[in-house]
Amino acid sequence: MAQNGKLAADLVQKLERDIVTGILKPGDKLDERSLSERFGVSRTPVREALQTLAGSGLVATMPRRGTIVASITVAELIEMFEVMAELEAMCARLAARRMPRADIENLIALSEECSALQGHADADAYYEANVRFHEAIYAGCRNSFLERQTKNVRNRLAPYRRLQLHRPGRVKKSNNEHAEILSAISNGEADVAGKLMQQHVAVQGEALNDLLAIVPRGYLEPLAS
């Protein structure tokens, strides 16, 4: 997609990984000089990388004020989850119609992987398995543009989605929903799969309040923006 030079491309990947995995948190400052020293390159590729990341929305740069890991407002968080739910629903609908049998078998395996990690102490392990399950469905929609678009929004929401796991009972409920979605896809029930996925991903009602309650300070912009 956004192919820059080799150095810049490397930086994009590294920074992206650090943001998505939570090493870099929303609001963290990304100083050009320190980054260039840390990676042993000049400021130019660093700027190109930040530019690319700004394009995909993972970082925000204010003119003359520097670049930070994107932190969003509560309103944007709600908006993005609303869109995310609908994008994933579309993936599920299309997957129900298009996913080959072999890939569905694989999806079953990924679902079982999630179940196996249900009570696991390491929340990250479940998170990763969960990501693989969802990505398998993205791939199943057989629309690589939709797949990229969906992954992009998911990346931007990653810091916030990660928080949801820590809510007690969430993992078990999530697994049950996976099973239902899987069944709908397997039976080719497109609309059912879409609706279930939409509800699975959407954050509404109490769940939204719970999420907002555990978002650390700095993850969200103050109201005065």
Partner DNA sequence: AACGCATTTCTGGTATACAAAATTGCATAG
Partner DNA sequence: CTATGCAATTTTGTATACCAGAAATGCGTT
- Of the candidate residues 12, 15, 24, 45, the single one contacting DNA (CB under 7 A): 45
7 binds DNA (CB under 7 A): yes
Residues 19-38 that bind DNA (CB under 7 A): 29-33
| Cβ distance to DNA smaller for residue 8 or 84 | 8
- Of the candidate residues 25, 47, 98, 142, the single one contacting DNA (CB under 7 A): 47
183 binds a second copy (CB under 8 A): no
| Cβ distance to DNA smaller for residue 43 or 173 | 43
H or E, element range at 29: strand 29-30
4 binds DNA (CB under 7 A): yes
- Among 163, 170, 174, CA closest to 213: 163
Q: How far, CA to CA in Å, does 27 sit from each of 66, 171, 205, 220?
A: 11, 28, 27, 8
In angstroms, the first-to-last Cα distance of the chain is 31
Backbone angles phi, psi at 61, to 5 degrees: -120, 125
74 binds a second copy (CB under 8 A): no
- Of the candidate residues 76, 112, 177, 189, the single one contacting a second copy (CB under 8 A): 76
82 binds a second copy (CB under 8 A): yes
Give 146-190 as a DSSP string.
Answer: HHHHHHHHHHHHHHHHHHHTTSTTHHHHHHHHHHHHHHHHHTT-H
Give the Cα separation of 144 and 146 in Å (integer). Answer: 5
- Of the candidate residues 21, 36, 51, 106, the single one contacting a second copy (CB under 8 A): 51
79 binds a second copy (CB under 8 A): yes
- Of the candidate residues 16, 48, 147, 221, the single one contacting DNA (CB under 7 A): 48
Max CA pair span of the chain: 55
- Of the candidate residues 10, 18, 32, 86, the single one contacting a second copy (CB under 8 A): 86
Between strands 66-69 and 59-62, the pairing is: antiparallel
- Among 90, 131, 110, CA closest to 182: 110
Contacts of 63 (CB under 8 A, 6+ apart): none
Residues engaged in binding a second copy (CB under 8 A): 1-6, 9, 47-48, 51-52, 54-57, 60-63, 76, 79-80, 82-83, 86, 90, 143-146, 149, 153
Residues engaged in binding DNA (CB under 7 A): 3-8, 29-33, 41-45, 47-48, 61, 63-67
